Amino acid sequence: MACRKGMWTLSEMLYWFFYIPMAVVVFIAFVKIPNVILENAVQPVELDAALTKEMLFNRMSVFSYPYGTEFSEFRPANSSTWLFLSPKKFGYMISFKDEKFFGNKYFYLDAKPLAGINYRNFAEVRNGILVDLVYPKKYEFFE
């Protein structure tokens, strides 16, 4: 009888041993998960890529003092000064005739073959100039 009571106590102890931590985990999950989901919902990657592309085309256009921006010509510039980049993870390549310019070159070269799997690719050609951008599906940042 004493043995049966001991077994009962042990099984109850085991029950509470798992039950209480599980209940705490479930409780925290209910409180935290909605906020994390809401924060991650703000991922305007596509719009961001479209704007960055426009910025690059705008930057590459020749500026004429009396007439303003001329979009039909290419302004060569030092590749390091096409854009001042933030810690946002993305890479781009500008290709014009035989010249190629990169932004976040190593990220671009690593991510480009994986575009469509882990990354998203945004490319456009205007007046013979190719701008090719690669972004992660959700924002990631360089440390």
Partner 1 sequence: MNKKGGILDLVLHPVFVTVVVLGLVFFSVMHAITNIGESKEFDKKRLAADISLLIESFQSVPRELNLFINYDFPSDFNLDIKVNKVKVSNGDSQIFFFERNPDFDVFSRSFKKSDFNNSKLVVFRSGNKLDFAISKNFKLEQDIFCPSSESLLTKIEVFPSTITEWLVKNRPNIFSETSLPSGQADLVVGFMGIPKGVRVYTLDETSLIGCYIIASVVKEFPEISANVVPVNPKFLHGLDDRKIILKEKNSLVIGFSQDIDKKRLAYAIYKGLNNYGLS
Look at the alpha carbons of 88, 91, 96, 98 in this order and tell me if their dihedral is positive or negative: positive
Q: Which of 54, 73, 99, 140 binds partner 1 (CB under 8 A)?
A: 54
Give the interface size with partner 1 as a residue count (CB under 8 A).
36
Characterize the bridge pairing of strands 99-103 and 91-96: antiparallel
85 lines the binding site for partner 1 (CB under 8 A): yes
Burial 40-58 (b: 16+ CB within 10 A, else e): eeeeebeebbeebbeebbe
For residues 48 and 77, what is the distance between their CA atoms, to the nearest angstrom? 23
Shortest Cβ distance from residue 108 to partner 1 (Å)? 14
66, 98, 117, 143: which one binds partner 1 (CB under 8 A)? 66
User: Site residues (CB under 8 A) for partner 1?
Assistant: 23, 26-27, 30-31, 33-35, 38-39, 41-42, 44, 47-48, 51-52, 54-55, 58-59, 61, 63, 65-66, 68-69, 81-88, 141
